[in-house]
Structure 1
Amino acid sequence: MPGFGPFDTFSDALMAACPVILSQPHATAGRKGTQAFDVRWRVSKEYCAWLYYTPVGKYEMSMLTDQSAQDDLDRRRSCLLPETVDDARFPPGSLKYVFALHNHPYEGHLSDGDLRMIVSMGRVHGWVMELGGRKVPLSIVAFFSNSDDLDHPSCDGFFQYIPVTGELMKWTGGLRGGWRQEVLGTVTWQDETHYRIDGK
């Protein structure tokens, strides 16, 4: 994505991606339960991108897409992320896919569609990436903001699912005060289509 990075670490890239994604038009509906939330949610959009590792040892983010599947009944949207990134600077097949990034319009857990999408991507790209001498697991991340300032929303946290470990996590805090991790549960796949979530 022009103007983004590149970054030496995935943590720096991840934190830089949060405000970029949340500042897109209608990316957040504000805090659930506040006045006009329902209207804000109906016009909200989910933006998606890959955070990937390049052959020159840097982390970059793909262009954003706002294509998503919507379920008005349970207020969930599932990211329709392309399987691969076309980065003309590097040979086909040389990129390593690390994080599937998207926003949630409000502080909602990862959806069934989110979990299934990243598992399908893992079958294509692999579950753990060898990046610059370290192993980094593939995961999906959903940023959220609790701010009612829709023009300049704060990055208040993100949900994360790591298929190779099964961990479902929630990170809260911020860029200034540091991030706090909460393990929400574990996803266990019983076969290719059925799973259960064991809460903590």
Structure 2
Amino acid sequence: MPGFGPFDTFSDALIAACPLILSKPHATAGRPGTQDFELRWRISKEYCAWLYYTPAGKYEMSMLTDQSAQDDLDRRRSCLLPATVDDARFPPGSLKYVFALHNHPYAGRLSDGDLRMITSMGRTHEWVVQVRGKKVPLSVVAFFSNSNDLEHPSCDGFFQYIPVTGELKKWTGDASSGWRQELLGTVTWQDEEHYRIDEK
């Protein structure tokens, strides 16, 4: 279901989504090695949502979900993102899926599950959508905070994986100073199950 928006650009939507998602209960765990990090990690949660483009020419974010996959060893957090958004304002099949958004409780890179999830979604949706004459590739985004202030965490950046190009990126900065991107590596899939990462 629709959550918040609309936004004219996906950049505006990402800037708004980052602090919103990180402000949810237990969305951040602070920095590894700091006091109480292990406890904060154990109770942390991932929240996820779709950022999509509508026939009205705007970007919208779906409602957040914190439904998570089971991990009996408590080694990771993963949010189960529904494959589609039910937005009753628009005809079925008319939405264009752009970004799968979620948080990481600390500034860790994208996980194996993140890479597999968005690759699976690419087989369901379009790998690249046309928006106002421009091509926008499907990708997964994980917001993070470097702050130990769990009540008002800063939005310090996000990791991004773009399946159609294979690029793994890290974006840092903020809305006022601008965002800087760093290419971390490239993912190459050998088949539907196996891949390798060539780090930069």
After superposition, the C-alpha distances for 1:111-138 in whole angstroms (9 at most, x for unaligned) are: 0000000000000001100112111000
The CA distance in 1 between the partners of 2:75 and 2:181, in whole Å, is 25
Tell me the equivalent position of 2:88: 88
Tell me the equivalent position of 1:50: 50
Could you list the runs of 5+ residues in structure 1 that have no partner in the other structure?
Answer: none
Q: Superposition RMSD on alpha carbons, in Å? A: 1.3
TM-score of the pair, normalised by structure 1: 0.96
Alignment of 1:3-152 (within 5 A): 4-69=4-69, 71=71, 75-152=75-152
The CA distance in 1 between the partners of 2:96 and 2:103, in whole Å, is 22
Aligned-residue offset at 1:72: 6.7
- For residue 41 of structure 2, give the secondary structure of its aligned residue in structure 1: helix
Tell me the equivalent position of 1:189: 189
Name the CA shift for 1:70/1:15 in 2 (closer, same or farther; >3 Å): farther
Question: For the Cα contact (< 8 Å) 1:97–1:125, is it kept in 2?
Answer: yes
Question: For the Cα contact (< 8 Å) 1:32–1:107, is it kept in 2?
Answer: no
The CA distance in 2 between the partners of 1:76 and 1:53, in whole Å, is 30
Aligned-residue offset at 1:74: 7.7
Question: For the Cα contact (< 8 Å) 2:42–2:74, is it kept in 1?
Answer: no
Question: For the Cα contact (< 8 Å) 2:22–2:143, is it kept in 1?
Answer: yes
Aligned-residue offset at 1:5: 2.0
Aligned-residue offset at 1:9: 0.4
Could you list the runs of 5+ residues in structure 2 that have no partner in the other structure?
Answer: none
- For residue 89 of structure 1, give the secondary structure of its aligned residue in structure 2: coil
Percentage of matched positions with identical amino acids: 83
After superposition, the C-alpha distances for 1:16-71 in whole angstroms (9 at most, x for unaligned) are: 10001000010000111110000001001100000000001000000000012254
Question: For the Cα contact (< 8 Å) 1:167–1:186, is it kept in 2?
Answer: yes
The CA distance in 2 between the partners of 1:176 and 1:87, in whole Å, is 32
The CA distance in 2 between the partners of 1:27 and 1:170, in whole Å, is 19
Matched residues, number:
199
- For residue 57 of structure 2, give the secondary structure of its aligned residue in structure 1: coil
TM-score of the pair, normalised by structure 2: 0.96
After superposition, the C-alpha distances for 1:73-130 in whole angstroms (9 at most, x for unaligned) are: 5832222100000001111100000000000000001000000000000000011001
Name the CA shift for 1:72/1:18 in 2 (closer, same or farther; >3 Å): farther
